[in-house]
Amino acid sequence: MADNKREGMDRPAMAAEYHAAGMNCAQAVAGAYADVIGLDLKKIFALTGTFGGGFRSHEICGAITGAAVVLGAKYPHDTLGDMAAKSFTSKKMMEFVRRFRERFPALTCRDLRDIPGDPSVSPAAKRLGLTRSCDIYIVAAVEILEEMFSEA
């Protein structure tokens, strides 16, 4: 698997690679940001191993939960009573969800998984030749994170 600490990393390609190698959607997205999260891939994959398939209940999409892990690491709310950090982190998550909804009609695995893949909603999916729905959600989630981080 790719080393995500290299210069000029292609995070969408890394996430797609992790998914193709058998990682779930959350593992793929979070794994592409091991450097941001500050943990090695094995630990990230372990911590997010139950997130795929909408927490194995077809609920919230794993690409979204993987992105939530990344956002929490990038913008931590980790101090008791720090309501400003809590508000800031919450706003970042809400912004991610807003952008995801701009591209896709739902947030749950149950509703998303059977929608035919449309690579036109993700430049990275198109560039990488991805056509499966989950692959597109994964790279789109990474693109949204990259957009958000570049604006910060």
Render pLDDT for 80-106 as a digit per residue (tens, 0 to 9). Answer: 999 999 999 999 999 999 999 999 999
Would you state the pLDDT for residue 114?
Answer: 87
Would you state the pLDDT for residue 8?
Answer: 67
Residue with tokens 């309501």: 83
Inside any domain, residue 4: no
Look up the pTM and report it: 0.93
Nearest one of 47, 9, 10, 4 to 27, comparing CA atoms:
47
Would you state the pLDDT for residue 51?
Answer: 96
Can you say whether the dihedral through the CA atoms of 89, 92, 98, 99 is positive or negative?
A: negative
Work out how many domains the chain is built from and give that number.
1
Inside any domain, residue 76: yes
Domain span at residue 17 reads: 11-151
Would you state the pLDDT for residue 140?
Answer: 98
Nearest one of 66, 11, 62, 63 to 35, comparing CA atoms:
11
Inside any domain, residue 37: yes
Would you state the pLDDT for residue 2?
Answer: 45
Q: Are the beta carbons of 31 and 44 closer than 8 angstroms?
A: yes
Weakly modelled stretches of the chain, pLDDT under 50: 1-6
Inside any domain, residue 3: no
Nearest one of 12, 2, 46, 9 to 141, comparing CA atoms:
12
Inside any domain, residue 2: no
Inside any domain, residue 16: yes
Report the distance separating Cα 41 and Cα 31, nearest Å: 6
